[in-house]
Chains A and B, each alone.
Chain A
């Protein structure tokens, strides 16, 4: 399932001129817990998605209050330096949207669990 279908907000923004922070706010508490439990959003998957070395991924933090996962990476170049493409860092979230995530969501309904 694409992450886009599980999230209510997917965004990116500078956190200082040297870091980029991306928030994924999930549609429900249940989806959030499920994704956190599955451990699919990790340093290694993010590094692969953004084609950056793993040491450029600063942190991945779960923020339960907002049903959110926050990903922070080091900017390829600082905001406004030669070669920068996005001064505010506001359009770097798009690869997250189309990210195919294996979501083992439990269907509410007839309770026919598949185990």
Chain B
């Protein structure tokens, strides 16, 4: 395919759909004539609950606000919109949630689009077959996949590469709403579809997917423009108070990645060993020299989370120096009392006391183990197979700790300060990441389903 124009401008409004952006920045971007708007709508960072439960970590009203601004602009300008990892985790429940918001915005603003909807949730039986064929590979440092992981994960998603997006453009889609996607692909697909270099497009996508996080001062809720040309790309923040510097852009290249020189994705890896970063003017950085290494075997990363129980929490504080000084021994005694009181209980439970002010943030990795503090935040946490048992254990641990008569105690009325009534909270379902593996495929499209709809 021939490069039709000298440059393509890709507008990234925000780091995650629903995180917002200033209208001034967005308008400045629109005034520069973007050829496409692309936005990442999710992340695995908020943890296993969201993928496992089917809920989004972003808020309905906040996502709707962003979509309203973006969709009306795309409609007015006649430019495409690409959304990846819809609904936060990109399984079908998330995708449908995002679609519902899009339909609402379209209806209320009298818009109309030819939409391509790309599903990334993979039917379990297809993966069982892959497992049988030995096509699911371990991804360091996680363990080998088991049949149990596949059976216990509520929904399993695959990270799509650029191919399903390009197929959607070939179908003539105005907007693409995709489930779980490799973040850079969301931004790189349109330039690649139009003939721009794959390595540069993907590298630009890696930076644009977080919008202004790559600028200084950084922000996850402000707009960034990417300009891709034949042999380089440039990045420009769309807010006058932010700048891209060679350091901020290079630093973002390595963000959330273990190896800054080799960034693996579906079907290959970005090779940044020969990349150079150049300050074009105050605020704009030019990048060139990035290469792409195609893998012999195309692999897709799959993710899945499974239900492991139900959680109950109690939040308290302590201010008594004698209690604080003895808290570790007190916790051991309280745990013993709980165990003794419920020795007939068949279901196992997990009971822990998080001590903020001591090692609540870092646990065993905390270097300041015996640092004196004048007050302590305590989160009592119980997890078990049912909500009822989690509630029982949490409640009993809380009342035992409240009135526990530890040695040398002089405050005999109570040991804990509760900020809330009720003191105990049902935190509901608890999930765990079970699947984080690679699947070998014969065709990059194999695991993804595209449907076209007029909305």
Q: B109-146: which have CB < 8 Å to A?
A: 139, 141-142
Query: For residue B241, which residues in chain A have a CB less than 8 angstroms away from its CB?
Result: none
- The listed residue (A17, A66, A67) touching B253 by CB distance below 8 A is A66
- The listed residue (B141, B251, B352) touching A18 by CB distance below 8 A is B141
- The listed residue (B251, B253, B257, B308) touching A82 by CB distance below 8 A is B308
Does A65 lie within 8 Å of B436, measured CB to CB?
Answer: no
Chain B 359-376: CB-based contact to A (< 8 A → 1; otherwise 0): 011111101000000000
The answer to whether residues A21 and B47 also contact, given A9-B251, A66-B247 and a CB cut-off of 8 A, is no
Does A23 lie within 8 Å of B142, measured CB to CB?
Answer: no
Does A6 make an interface contact (CB < 8 A)?
A: no
How far is B260's CA from A92's CA once the two chains are assembled, in angstroms? 19
The answer to whether residues A91 and B361 also contact, given A49-B367, A61-B260 and a CB cut-off of 8 A, is yes
Does A66 lie within 8 Å of B250, measured CB to CB?
Answer: yes
Instruction: Please count the residue pairs between chain A and chain B whose beta carbons lie under 8 angstroms apart in the complex.
Output: 129
The answer to whether residues A80 and B49 also contact, given A14-B256, A61-B260, A65-B246 and a CB cut-off of 8 A, is yes
A87 CB to nearest chain B CB (Å): 4
- The listed residue (B139, B247, B361, B364) touching A51 by CB distance below 8 A is B364
B377 CB to nearest chain A CB (Å): 13
Does B253 lie within 8 Å of A58, measured CB to CB?
Answer: no
Does A70 lie within 8 Å of B254, measured CB to CB?
Answer: yes
A88 CB to nearest chain B CB (Å): 5
Does A74 make an interface contact (CB < 8 A)?
A: yes
- The listed residue (B246, B258, B383, B433) touching A58 by CB distance below 8 A is B258
Does A63 lie within 8 Å of B254, measured CB to CB?
Answer: yes
The answer to whether residues A80 and B361 also contact, given A49-B367, A65-B253, A74-B141 and a CB cut-off of 8 A, is no
- The listed residue (A61, A67, A78) touching B261 by CB distance below 8 A is A61
The answer to whether residues A81 and B432 also contact, given A9-B251, A51-B367, A65-B275 and a CB cut-off of 8 A, is yes
Central interface residue in B49, B259, B305, by most chain A CB within 10 Å = B259
The answer to whether residues A88 and B141 also contact, given A9-B251, A18-B436, A66-B253 and a CB cut-off of 8 A, is no
Closest A residue to B48 by CB, please name it.
A80
Does B75 make an interface contact (CB < 8 A)?
A: no
How far is B253's CA from A23's CA once the two chains are assembled, in angstroms? 12
Number of contact residues on B: which range applies?
Answer: 35 or more
Chain B 315-343: CB-based contact to A (< 8 A → 1; otherwise 0): 00000000000000000000000000000
Query: For residue B139, which residues in chain A have a CB less than 8 angstroms away from its CB?
Result: 16
Central interface residue in B253, B256, B430, by most chain A CB within 10 Å = B256
Does B141 lie within 8 Å of A58, measured CB to CB?
Answer: yes
Closest B residue to A82 by CB, please name it.
B350
Does B142 lie within 8 Å of A87, measured CB to CB?
Answer: no
Closest A residue to B276 by CB, please name it.
A65
B143 CB to nearest chain A CB (Å): 10
Does B251 lie within 8 Å of A61, measured CB to CB?
Answer: no
Does A52 make an interface contact (CB < 8 A)?
A: yes
Chain A 86-112: CB-based contact to B (< 8 A → 1; otherwise 0): 111001101100000000000000000
Does A87 lie within 8 Å of B253, measured CB to CB?
Answer: no
Closest A residue to B252 by CB, please name it.
A66
B430 CB to nearest chain A CB (Å): 7
The answer to whether residues A66 and B254 also contact, given A80-B49, A91-B361 and a CB cut-off of 8 A, is yes
How far is B49's CA from A52's CA once the two chains are assembled, in angstroms? 27
Does B354 make an interface contact (CB < 8 A)?
A: yes
Does B254 lie within 8 Å of A23, measured CB to CB?
Answer: yes
Query: For residue B47, which residues in chain A have a CB less than 8 angstroms away from its CB?
Result: 17, 79-80, 87
How far is B45's CA from A87's CA once the two chains are assembled, in angstroms? 7
Query: For residue B433, which residues in chain A have a CB less than 8 angstroms away from its CB?
Result: 17-18, 78-81
Does A35 make an interface contact (CB < 8 A)?
A: no
Query: For residue B432, which residues in chain A have a CB less than 8 angstroms away from its CB?
Result: 78, 80-82
A48 CB to nearest chain B CB (Å): 10
Does B431 make an interface contact (CB < 8 A)?
A: yes
Does B362 lie within 8 Å of A14, measured CB to CB?
Answer: no
Query: For residue A67, which residues in chain B have a CB less than 8 angstroms away from its CB?
Result: 247
Q: List residues of A whose CB falls within 8 A of some B CB.
A: 8-9, 13-19, 21, 23, 25, 49-52, 58-59, 61, 63, 65-68, 70, 72, 74, 76, 78-83, 85-88, 91-92, 94-95
A-B contact pairs, 26 of them (CB 8 A): A13-B255, A16-B139, A17-B44, A18-B433, A25-B251, A52-B365, A58-B141, A58-B258, A59-B258, A61-B261, A63-B254, A63-B261, A65-B250, A65-B260, A65-B277, A68-B260, A72-B258, A78-B432, A81-B432, A82-B308, A82-B432, A85-B354, A86-B361, A87-B45, A91-B362, A92-B362
